[in-house]
Homo-oligomer: A and B are copies of this chain.
Amino acid sequence: MSLLADLLSTLFDRRYVFMGKRDERPLTELCNALMSSQGDVSGAAIAHEILDGYATTDTEGKRAFFEFLNSEMDIDPDQLENVVSSYKTERTEANYRKLVEAAEPKRQELARRLNQVPGATHQLVHMRKDLLGFMKDKPNLARTDVDFRHLFNSWFNRGFLVLRPISWDSPAQILEKIIAYEAVHAIDSWDDLRRRLQPEDRRCFAFFHPSLPDEPLIFVEVALTKGVPSSIQGVLAEERDIVPVDEVDTAVFYSISNCQSGLAGVSFGNSLIKQVVQDLSRELSQLKTFVTLSPLPTFCKWAKEQEIDIPQDDAALKELAAYYLLEGKRRGDMPYDPVARFHLYNGALVHDVHVGADTSENGKKQSAGVMVNYLYDLQKISQNHEVFANKKEIVASKRVQALAKAGVVPASSQPKSDVA
């Protein structure tokens, strides 16, 4: 990855050469100036001022900036109504051009013009992170967020992302971000990180965008094993036997973390695992099985809602967990469990369930110590996905199906509330 960083650092090295005095106008005025500027000569200077000004203004200034984008740089529905009407009458290029122009809020073009400054993409991602915060108090700002997300979906299109391995040979600058962003099983030191990257039976992959070469967007940690592991403790143990790479037969995705909260809702996560499955298959033909080792983050919450006590008995716990995965539902007949929703939508199937698999405090509190393997079978993910997406049917192994059947749940145990 450092290669990419190195090369594309030109994107950042293209430092703005300032020639003149600072432009002291308020942000909103600068935005209007940028929108009316022609060409990139003065535009780049103004864009730079805006980004600098935004970065250094206080919370109130930022909120005001978004209010300005939301109200002053919105679509003008009256104007749009007029051009739509013309277009209805006559579908000419000129009318279409006017329509397209009127149908795009100015804030989109503003963002594109800001982006000409080196490093701006990352700043715009940060900006949206702020916006998401402000939306809690000012839900009407969601209109502006619609446009940010639309723009980011275009810029961070799957076709522009680069999958890169993360290893102990990666730059420290990237690695410290892996430590910071790991959201599932915290990395508590550089030694811990080394244990997850350096051994020949460990891998890590991340998506990068060429304009943020030092910032992973999402990453997945992989253990290569003999057989499917039944607990995260075994995978992460400090003292464990490293499996020679020619003896492994299984790749276990035991942690997947999003890195940029400013990119929330921009979907690239569902490509990651499948891409990694393909790459690993090609590199190591001995790999036959690709599974996750995943938590059930809302299992205990669901049980409480169902007024079911978590069984003390392992066998019964396993059955209940299987039942939860296959039968626990929320709004729209979707699986109650968010991790299940993610992997099933991706085309994985429910492969196995393990109790006592995550004895961490969090693991016990949320998942009652249970973990689940979702299986990625490249031959079947397309079909699994269709069945799930269209019919809400969950594909599961026979073993899990049998467990779920045995998981007796009182008739009253119907979902009482929706959970996002």
Q: Which residues of A contact B (CB under 8 A)?
A: 2-8, 10-11, 14, 17, 19-20, 38-42, 45, 74-75, 77-78, 80-81, 84-85, 87-88, 91-93, 96-97, 99-100, 103-104, 112, 115-118, 120-121, 139-140, 142-143, 146-147, 150-151, 153-155, 157-160, 162-164, 168-173, 175-176, 190, 193-194, 197, 210-211, 270-271, 274-275, 278, 345-347, 378-379, 381-382, 385-386, 389
Residues of B within 8 A of A211 (CB): 159-160, 210
- In angstroms, Cα B42 to Cα A117, docked, is 37
Tell me if A97 and B41 are in contact (CB < 8 A).
no
Tell me if A385 and B78 are in contact (CB < 8 A).
no
A267 CB to closest chain B CB, in angstroms? Answer: 8
Residues of B within 8 A of A151 (CB): 154
Copies in the complex: 4
- Given known A-B contacts A157-B116, A171-B171, A382 and B2 have beta carbons under 8 A apart: no
- Given known A-B contacts A40-B158, A112-B154, A143 and B96 have beta carbons under 8 A apart: yes
- In angstroms, Cα B382 to Cα A404, docked, is 62
Task: Find A170's partner among B17, B78, B100, B171 (CB 8 Å cutoff).
Answer: B171
Tell me if A162 and B10 are in contact (CB < 8 A).
yes
Tell me if A91 and B162 are in contact (CB < 8 A).
no
Residues of B within 8 A of A20 (CB): 382
Tell me if B381 and A41 are in contact (CB < 8 A).
yes
Tell me if B172 and A168 are in contact (CB < 8 A).
yes
- In angstroms, Cα B20 to Cα A85, docked, is 47
- Given known A-B contacts A157-B115, A160-B210, A172-B194, A140 and B5 have beta carbons under 8 A apart: no
